[in-house]
Structure 1
């Protein structure tokens, strides 16, 4: 994907065919097709990479070890730090390379980086821990069977279910939520031969899945806000004064660096200061709960939208004051630094919400579905980007056309991004309220300990290891439960996993995030300037690609968890990534639109089709690669920590913080470096550097192969089947009475183990029609598993608006910055895309504060290991996202006013004498101002919804039942 993307960038495009006085309506179709094919190839690759790499990283920590369990908690923080640090560097460097040197170079660098990343990944093969897949029903079949059985037993009475639970001894094990799924405990018509009777564990598993959906849904507004970083935030910055010093202007896209900077700076604060302080008060390893963390981020997201709206108002007023309203190409005399607060707020919100969502979905799904859990988190951002695109299209249709200036007019001085930001802020508040509701009642799912069984098979060469008595080896002292080395042998704790192996994952993710943000942060500039697309079309394409890239992890995670395993999925996805980056670099070095524009400023409406095809093919190849890489690498990193070991458990808690820190630090560097390279040197170089980095990342990953811990994949029912079965069984048993379910729970001895939420899922404890021959009867654990998944849905949905806001940073934020004065010093202008550096900067600065200051303080008050819950963290991020949109809208208003005052309204190519630094606030925390006000309003609405769901969310909590039974068995033997 990256290779084809590079190829599409170096092929002749629209600008190559435009002379100085004439214009054409299209560029070479081949180039456009190649470009978009490459772009979506990257999205497909990300679909396999994204859900696996993080899950594989988390797998390196043993949740049974106290130290590794704490390390795993931090893993997600530092993972995010690495991601944002990488993105910050990518935004700064690649956006500059793409704007000033070559798009081919700007796309080629990521391609090279992906090759390096693959090598790095492979280097660690021997050190990884690999999960063992047992010969049992797929979790998809298992969970699905619970739902099927519950549906078939829908007419079963509660008393019948209660009797069945009592008979099975499951009455004390069934959760109160989604009790209807307990009907899956009964077979249809009580004849077990008619269907499989689900166990209480299977019913609880289905409940656990079901509980996830409210959280997922209420997080969507956050995702909508999140989508604004790379779109309207950048567009804002493009209109402001981006001069750092005479002769040097920063790219508008590089403002996204402040997001990464905020993340990189805050994650160490969070992990090293906040978590210990919060832990002292809450006694929770992570200081606050995952839901608390998510909620805090939602609030910050809403605040970000408010700030963005206010900054946009300021920008519009400045444009009016200077008469630049009709001079969109003139820089508004308003510093681009005005945008920094919204970028910083956005970055801090990401530290809370995104890291919280990562850890939440990884922790609350069944063990076999952890890659899918990471993919569910990614799907929030993906759907948020698509919703952002849809929202933009609907608003543009409603406000534009017929000679009117819409909220997203190509002339941002006539647009109203401030309205959009206000809307997102409002939606964020509403989503947060809904989130609180679900988070309050959420019942945390308790993770089942893995049986201490090992197989002597190649863990990375056999996808479905068979479990037989002959393959089992005795329990060895110092080994990690449920993990093997790369050869399939029992893995020694001292020689594998932990931070040593997880650091490989973070390194790979840093390179991958550098690559991804190197493309996304300045993509809107490439589409508008190199491919000649309008602002709205370019923003829609960016959001569509970003949404695809974020949703692909659902597919990649499913493939990883069901077939390939995380390690192999990461390797394959990285190879696809490198291919996409290589093609992307090629597309950038081929003649593009800019090469056909003559000196008289005449334009053409289309570029060579072949180049466009190659570009988009490469782009979507990268998206496909991310789909496999993203959900696996982080989970694989977390897998390196043993949750049963106290030290590793603590390390895992910090892992996610430092992961995020690394990600955002990388993003910050990317935004600064690549945006400058892309704007001032070459797009080919701007894409080529990430390609090289991915090659290095692959090498790093491979270096650690011998040290990794690989989860044992058992031959059991797929978690998808298992959870789905709980829902199906519960639906089939929909008429089962509560008394019947209660009897079944009591019979199974699971009545005290069933959660109170989604009690209807307890119907899956009964076979359809009480006849066990008609359907599978699910266990209470399977029902609770389905409940846990179901509880995620509202959180996921209410986070979508946040994702919409998130999508703006690389689109309209960048376009804003492109219109402003980006001069740092005479002769040097920062690329508009490099403003995204402040997002990464905010994250990098805030994550250490969060992990080391906020968490310890919060822990002292809440006695929670994480200081605040994951949902609280997400909610805070949503509020900050809304505030970001408010700031962005205000800055856009200021930019428009400046353009009007200076008479630049109808001169869109003239830089508005307004510093690009006006955009920094919205990066940290058009009439584009209308759009930003809209996003701010939507953020508030989504935040309110999020609060509603988060309030009732029941966390999935680790269970020690199986380990106690195992220890008893060992002692007796």
Structure 2
């Protein structure tokens, strides 16, 4: 008893806010480096490596696509066998190697082509060897990022789940504050990258511009590893994809069996699920009942040693893991259109800004790409105000530790994001009419006499909306995903971002193809003074209305996962459900009896 007491006391000293500097520093440096690289990388490829525009664009698109897919692989590795800590640590080291390679390429003259002759229109492109070194470096950063992004948010939230029984009973506000802190830290990193790093790259040099994020990342890796003794480290529960596949195979094999009237006789096994249900087992729900057949026990499902055959028999907990993922998909998919609707902030809005009056004082002009800072600043302010002012006020009304639930938070963000595109449409209509009035319709490079600060509201509104939607989306994926698949769930967040960006590209292609056949002509012309970019914004706003209604329907009928609270004295208490009644429960201890539900086989 004394030994157990000392062990419990030792566990209580793990996790908590003291681990955040080590964990978030790693993620901040990842976002800082990624944003610092991407913001100006197209100029580096063209001006330093002398690549054509199309090749430079394809290089960045391929890099972005790879960086968006690797988190899925990293999450599966973490959840299957490596654990989150080691996945983050190894991923950070690989990322560091990639950054070092990019920096060395920018410093050593032998790894890039000679400068263009001042009087010659042609430039020598980078050789195959020079490009190979650069591409390998980019690939390493994409692979390393795959180990960091899906695991940091889950690993950080784990630090606030030491007392799992209390967390399932009422929830800890500290855990949800972590999600606010996570996105706040990301915003700070982006803000620093778009100001400090970009300025250094443009005005000092590429070697120093790439070198600063590389050095910062090195120290963040060291700091993360130093924090090892302080972390709560969850044991991986084996391949989640294998478990899900076993449920499907077992259910298909028993598709002709009749389901029992009493779900309490379905197969349960505490010891078998111990490693994947530390905080409590999932309880039976009445959705997707076809899968319940996987938990019907037959004579052939148990070995002579009394062990279940996993490809023939699954526990209720494992079946509910699959059900949880299926239930999450509709609300997860809402995030795709959120990204699609905002993807123009880095394309069309920049083109608008370049055509407007960007003078701030005297001859100083604001760079068009710098306007995205207003979105980041508004997101940071919203997160701070929400966490410190709004949450305490809303908590009095909702009696929730977090104030708004994550589903309510997403809904608020969706409504606000609609206003961003409405503002964009109205401003573009005014900008275009001003250009026509001043006879500038046929002069796309001319400056339209309208201040660029008219674009600030749509950027600011977008930042406010992101503080609600992105944080709420991540909270939802973390909380409703199975306990053993939370890294995979975090990877789904980045997958939605990736698909959303590709959706934005597809939307532009479709709009351009359809509208160029109309009498008014292509909405998305190279000369935006003659196009109808405002119509495009109204179309996107309409899609957001559809997405909002779709979300409300999904949220209204969403079933929260029912969970049994772990802990001896609390066993049997549940959240959002009722406990089962033993049923076909096979104990794996030696000499244990085996109680089976024998199904009537259909001929």
**The two structures share one fold, judged by TM-score above 0.5:** yes
Within a 5 Å distance, the mapping from 1:766-781 to structure 2 comes to 766-767=296-297, 775-781=311-317
Matched, 1:707 2:230: yes
Matched, 1:954 2:559: yes
| 521 and 699 in structure 1: CA distance in 2 versus 1, 3 angstrom threshold | same
After superposition, the C-alpha distances for 1:285-318 in whole angstroms (9 at most, x for unaligned) are: xxxxxxxxxxxxxxxxxxxxxxxxxxxxxxxxxx
Q: Specify the SS of the correspondent of 2:72.
A: helix
How much has 1:500 moved relative to structure 2?
0.4
The equivalent position to 2:93 in structure 1, one of 575, 579, 585, is 575
Residue in 2 aligned with 1:658? 181
After superposition, the C-alpha distances for 1:152-185 in whole angstroms (9 at most, x for unaligned) are: xxxxxxxxxxxxxxxxxxxxxxxxxxxxxxxxxx
| 690 and 815 in structure 1: CA distance in 2 versus 1, 3 angstrom threshold | farther
After superposition, the C-alpha distances for 1:38-93 in whole angstroms (9 at most, x for unaligned) are: xxxxxxxxxxxxxxxxxxxxxxxxxxxxxxxxxxxxxxxxxxxxxxxxxxxxxxxx
Q: Distance in 2 between matches of 1:952 and 1:913?
A: 50
The equivalent position to 2:375 in structure 1, one of 827, 834, 839, is 839
Q: Distance in 1 between matches of 2:89 and 2:549?
A: 41
Matched, 1:638 2:168: no
After superposition, the C-alpha distances for 1:366-404 in whole angstroms (9 at most, x for unaligned) are: xxxxxxxxxxxxxxxxxxxxxxxxxxxxxxxxxxxxxxx
Residue in 2 aligned with 1:596? 116
Q: Distance in 2 between matches of 1:883 and 1:563?
A: 45
Q: Distance in 1 between matches of 2:427 and 2:47?
A: 24
Higher normalized contact order (CA 8 Å, seq sep 6+, divided by chain length): 1
Within a 5 Å distance, the mapping from 1:247-262 to structure 2 comes to none
How much has 1:558 moved relative to structure 2?
0.8
Q: Distance in 2 between matches of 1:819 and 1:699?
A: 46
Q: Distance in 1 between matches of 2:158 and 2:152?
A: 10
TM-score normalised by structure 1 residue count: 0.44
CA contact (8 A) 1:521 1:810 kept: no
CA contact (8 A) 2:173 2:402 kept: no
The equivalent position to 2:410 in structure 1, one of 866, 874, 879, is 874
Which structure is higher in helix share?
A: 2
CA contact (8 A) 2:268 2:317 kept: no
| 522 and 902 in structure 1: CA distance in 2 versus 1, 3 angstrom threshold | farther
RMSD: 3.9
After superposition, the C-alpha distances for 1:170-210 in whole angstroms (9 at most, x for unaligned) are: xxxxxxxxxxxxxxxxxxxxxxxxxxxxxxxxxxxxxxxxx
How much has 1:949 moved relative to structure 2?
1.9
The equivalent position to 1:518 in structure 2, one of 36, 47, 64, is 36
Q: Distance in 2 between matches of 1:813 and 1:606?
A: 31
Q: Specify the SS of the correspondent of 2:372.
A: strand
Residue in 2 aligned with 1:238? none
The equivalent position to 2:137 in structure 1, one of 618, 625, 647, is 618
After superposition, the C-alpha distances for 1:700-758 in whole angstroms (9 at most, x for unaligned) are: 21232232222234xx5533222332233223333333xx23346346599x9411222
Matched, 1:498 2:16: yes
Matched, 1:782 2:350: no
Within a 5 Å distance, the mapping from 1:231-246 to structure 2 comes to none
Q: Specify the SS of the correspondent of 1:555.
A: helix
Q: Distance in 2 between matches of 1:965 and 1:879?
A: 40
| 809 and 527 in structure 1: CA distance in 2 versus 1, 3 angstrom threshold | farther
How much has 1:507 moved relative to structure 2?
2.0
Within a 5 Å distance, the mapping from 1:853-868 to structure 2 comes to 853-868=389-404
| 772 and 712 in structure 1: CA distance in 2 versus 1, 3 angstrom threshold | closer
Q: Distance in 2 between matches of 1:948 and 1:866?
A: 23
The equivalent position to 1:758 in structure 2, one of 285, 288, 304, is 288
CA contact (8 A) 1:570 1:632 kept: yes
Which structure is higher in strand share?
A: 1
CA contact (8 A) 1:799 1:946 kept: no
Residue in 1 aligned with 2:550? 945
CA contact (8 A) 1:678 1:685 kept: yes
Residue in 1 aligned with 2:239? 718
Within a 5 Å distance, the mapping from 1:161-310 to structure 2 comes to none
CA contact (8 A) 1:502 1:638 kept: no
Residue in 1 aligned with 2:68? 550
Q: Specify the SS of the correspondent of 1:701.
A: helix
Q: Distance in 2 between matches of 1:631 and 1:749?
A: 30
After superposition, the C-alpha distances for 1:790-842 in whole angstroms (9 at most, x for unaligned) are: 11111222221112234444444445444544443345444333322222211
How much has 1:553 moved relative to structure 2?
0.8
Q: Distance in 1 between matches of 2:429 and 2:51?
A: 26
Residue in 2 aligned with 1:936? 541
Q: Distance in 2 between matches of 1:476 and 1:671?
A: 50
Q: Specify the SS of the correspondent of 1:711.
A: coil
Residue in 1 aligned with 2:476? none
Q: Considering only CA atoms, is the larger Rg found in Structure 1 or Structure 2? A: 2
Q: Specify the SS of the correspondent of 2:256.
A: coil
Within a 5 Å distance, the mapping from 1:281-680 to structure 2 comes to 475-477=4-6, 479=8, 491-494=10-13, 496-523=14-41, 542=60, 544-588=62-106, 595-596=115-116, 598=118, 614-644=133-163, 649-680=172-203
CA contact (8 A) 2:80 2:238 kept: no
Matched, 1:694 2:217: yes
Matched, 1:920 2:456: yes
CA contact (8 A) 1:523 1:810 kept: no
CA contact (8 A) 1:723 1:786 kept: yes
| 801 and 695 in structure 1: CA distance in 2 versus 1, 3 angstrom threshold | same
| 539 and 758 in structure 1: CA distance in 2 versus 1, 3 angstrom threshold | farther
